[in-house]
Structure 1
Amino acid sequence: MAKSITIIIITFLFTSCTTSHKNSKEFQDAQNELTGKLRAITRKTCFNGFGVALVNEKEVLYQNGFGITNFNTKQKYDENTVQNIASVSKTFIGIAILKAQELGKLNLDDPINKYLPFKVVNPYHPEIPITVWHLTTHTSSITDTKDYMTKTIVLKDTADLVKNLQIDISPTKFNSPSAKISIEAFLNNMLNPSGKWYSKTAFSDKKPGEIFNYSNVGATLAALVLEKATGMSYDSFTTKYILKPLHMDNSGWNFRSINFSKYTHTFQNKTTPYPYYSLNTYPDGGMLTTASDMSKYISELMKGYFGNGTILSKKSYKEYFTPQLNAKNFIDRSTGEYSDEYNMGITMGFGSTGNFGHTGGDPGLFSVIWFDKYKKIGKYFIVNTECEGKEFSKSQKMINDLLDEYSVKLNDLSQRK
């Protein structure tokens, strides 16, 4: 879903638990050392639980989880714990769109109204068609309105419904399970002039293709275009062409597709869990997955970047990882080294150094994937607990200092084999 406004972008060099391949004793000892040190500092962080993974171009270096998933039962967070990864989910949209293009079902330059059952037009620039490319680069001129923010998060069940509906997760809010609708119905209400939530504020006064403006609605609309172009649900398409080929067997887009006994609570703070929830706009942030499965995904992306991927052609991966915008497309350009909004590929963000990745935030969680193209290391990190800004930064630093040290060590040891 929406990136948290309070997300703090900091240095990410992430690693995780031992992997089942032939490694030297020195390599295994380094993994075990990292595990021990991370476990030792777990109680010092403000996170109840967190998952990590690290890959290089050749293999998974480390994957693990630490802490707990349930405050009452103390169930352990491990590499097979399932968690929503928030806006990191958007990276799947770009892969799916490019796969559909390979299959001849659509083209990035196509106007989206070629496929949609209702017309989507910027009322300030009705003569300029919005294209698939605009959606995947966040230049569509479609914006996230208050209705988007307050209507997309839906509670899993009616337990303690009155109490849970009152929980403050501003600027978003929880909705009753009865508010669950399809992405087509949601977007029709939001973007169709006859829709019940329609407003011109769903569009900026900028021309489509002109200015970068991060849009969750636009990302979900790209998924709906894919559905109409391919005749498959976004869930089914991504499962067939991404999850199954990568053997991401513990991942999916809804609670039915995962082992719910392994699903973690997310937490308002160290002691208070949030209720379980899902998203009406699930393509923009609803992937449910594990550190182990994300190792497979980021490994594929790393291989794809260097021309050895398996789920897209070299040509498609090149397009996916090519920065699509330039300075004139930004008003307030994010220049931080680890920001994912200095430039955009096809849903993949780029930092000012040319390294790339994506961040995400939803109630009770923060997530990130990040790739260092020079060291050829890919990283995944996720937490299941909200913290105040200073507390969050302190906890991140304790973890990152160790991950920084051991990511270099593990990568060097891997290269020696």
Structure 2
Amino acid sequence: MEYKLMNLKQPTLAPFSMLKLCINIFISLAVCQSFGQTHDSIAKQLSNDLKPIFDKGHINGLSVAIVNEQGTLFEQGLGYADKKAGQPYTEHTIQNIASISKTFIGVALLKAQEMGALNLDDPINKYLPFKVINPHFPDKAITIKHLATHTSSIKDPSQYEDNGYVLMHKNNDNLKVSSNFISPDNMMDYKVFLKNILDQEGNWYHKKVFLKNEPGALFEYSNIAAGLAAFVLEKATGQAFNAFTKTYIFSPLEMSNSGWFRDEVDNSKHSKLYADIDTELAPYYLINYPDGALITSIHDLGKFLKELISGYNGHGTLLNKSSYSELFKPNLKDSNYKKRNTNVYNDEYNMGVFMGISAQGQIGHTGGDPGVGTFMFFNSETKIGKILFVNTELDKAGVNEFIEIWKVLEAYENKL
């Protein structure tokens, strides 16, 4: 699950909305050339330039990476994964990465299409055990591609926010429990969660879950639609989404520190998450896990970004060239939006298959959940990518710190 940095529904996460807005407004692409310096000396300079920004003290822990088709050019962690214990945040520290997770749904769908298990133009009701129909347009089928381009006409209702975050433990001592964190007693399978919202017989169903626009007509970012796409994949392939992604993405890329659930990763490497610089959040699960619950490290995600850049260049290994072309193909037009945002890192300007495409050629995704802020983009012209994780919810000063760090990565991306 993920609250978009730009379209947050949860008041306590509002700083992430400010973060994305500030990134879009204030960051311009820096093209830098470096002559007569070794990679190691430039990397040392980059590290030296990051430290004083981090030392401003608004983020407990973070990690960064710069990547191209050859691999990771730079990666570093700063600060603490566990402030109280003094455990450092490194490039191998893991945490959930929020909506960047959706890019894995896109790759998985295209792999399933290559295998002949589904076609992106198929109606979703061809696979689902319950019917999902826009009641305002009952004869207009919702397709898998509609889900993948956020044009399904499905909205995220209040139940998505109110029932989607589940505490890992009943007793959380002095840890912060956010107002929308619910008891472990209310944990349910994400497919039941989706049925409750989308099935006409579901406990939380309401026709207001659907836009009064026909499927395919209007962009409406939807976490529910993303989870539904993963469920369609499960029904089409006969394999659980977490198992499918492990088989066809994590294992081939040797992403050994990545998984969707706590029992799939080494929890000794997991960062604590913080409501602010001094307040640790109670650990939580995300019911609708495919839309935002991927747990990974900057080191592992760098391997995935390398593969995306390679695929964009026609050299990918996870998918064939045709599939990669479809992954990155812009699907939307001005008519699909009420108003289009043309800022440099707005990942909602256009959509591939769960792949954000900005008006200025940045491809990737952003993410934000309680205690989590993430950015992952590559430049479609230079074919250089950047990643940034933070483990702390950001106030205004923290947003400025995030921006400064990202600008430093921009300044060095071509030097390396």
Scaled by the length of structure 2, the TM-score of the pair is: 0.92
CA contact (8 A) 2:176 2:279 kept: no
Q: Does 1:397 align with 2:403?
A: yes
| Distance change (3 Å), C-alpha of 1:161 and 1:202 | farther
Aligned counterparts of 2:238 and 2:366: Cα–Cα separation in 1? 30
Partner of 2:11: none
Partner of 1:325: 332
| Distance change (3 Å), C-alpha of 1:328 and 1:396 | same
Specify which of 49, 54, 71 is matched with residue 66 of structure 2.
54
| Distance change (3 Å), C-alpha of 1:13 and 1:352 | closer
AA paired with 2:182? Answer: N
Q: Secondary structure at the match of 1:357?
A: strand
Shift of 1:336: 1.0
Partner of 2:83: 71
CA contact (8 A) 1:13 1:407 kept: no
Measured against aligned partners, the alpha-carbon deviations of 1:290-349 in whole angstroms (never above 9, x if no partner) come to: 010011000000000010000000000000000011111111212212100111111001
Shift of 1:105: 0.2
CA contact (8 A) 1:13 1:400 kept: no
Shift of 1:161: 7.5
Q: Secondary structure at the match of 1:268?
A: strand
Deviates more, 1:32-41 or 1:182-191: 32-41
Shift of 1:3: 1.4
Partner of 1:375: 382
Aligned counterparts of 2:398 and 2:339: Cα–Cα separation in 1? 25
Partner of 1:213: 220
Partner of 1:2: 3
AA paired with 1:291? Answer: I
Partner of 2:286: 279
Aligned counterparts of 1:2 and 1:238: Cα–Cα separation in 2? 22
Aligned counterparts of 2:125 and 2:56: Cα–Cα separation in 1? 52
Q: Does 1:110 align with 2:139?
A: no
CA contact (8 A) 1:161 1:176 kept: no
Q: Does 1:253 align with 2:253?
A: no
**Runs of 4+ that moved beyond 6 A:** none
Deviates more, 1:44-53 or 1:96-105: 44-53
Q: Secondary structure at the match of 1:197?
A: coil
Partner of 1:17: none
CA contact (8 A) 1:53 1:294 kept: no
CA contact (8 A) 2:175 2:279 kept: no
- Figure out how many residues of one structure are paired with residues of the other and give that number: 395
| Distance change (3 Å), C-alpha of 1:92 and 1:219 | same
Specify which of 83, 93, 97 is matched with residue 95 of structure 2.
83
Q: Secondary structure at the match of 1:196?
A: coil
Aligned counterparts of 2:328 and 2:124: Cα–Cα separation in 1? 22
Shift of 1:164: 5.1
Aligned counterparts of 2:279 and 2:273: Cα–Cα separation in 1? 9
Measured against aligned partners, the alpha-carbon deviations of 1:267-311 in whole angstroms (never above 9, x if no partner) come to: 111110111111000000000000100110000000000100000
CA contact (8 A) 2:370 2:393 kept: yes
Aligned counterparts of 2:160 and 2:48: Cα–Cα separation in 1? 43
Structure 2 gaps, min length 5: 9-13, 31-35
Deviates more, 1:28-37 or 1:258-267: 28-37
Give the RMSD, CA atoms, in angstroms.
1.7
Aligned counterparts of 1:314 and 1:398: Cα–Cα separation in 2? 36
AA paired with 1:28? Answer: D
Shift of 1:174: 0.4
Aligned counterparts of 1:263 and 1:59: Cα–Cα separation in 2? 24
| Distance change (3 Å), C-alpha of 1:207 and 1:102 | same
Q: Does 1:124 align with 2:106?
A: no
Shift of 1:141: 0.3
Aligned counterparts of 2:28 and 2:73: Cα–Cα separation in 1? 16
Partner of 1:145: 157
Specify which of 40, 51, 61 is matched with residue 28 of structure 1.
40
Matches within 5 A, 1:167-246: 167-168=178-179, 173-246=180-253
Partner of 1:365: 372
Aligned counterparts of 2:302 and 2:52: Cα–Cα separation in 1? 23
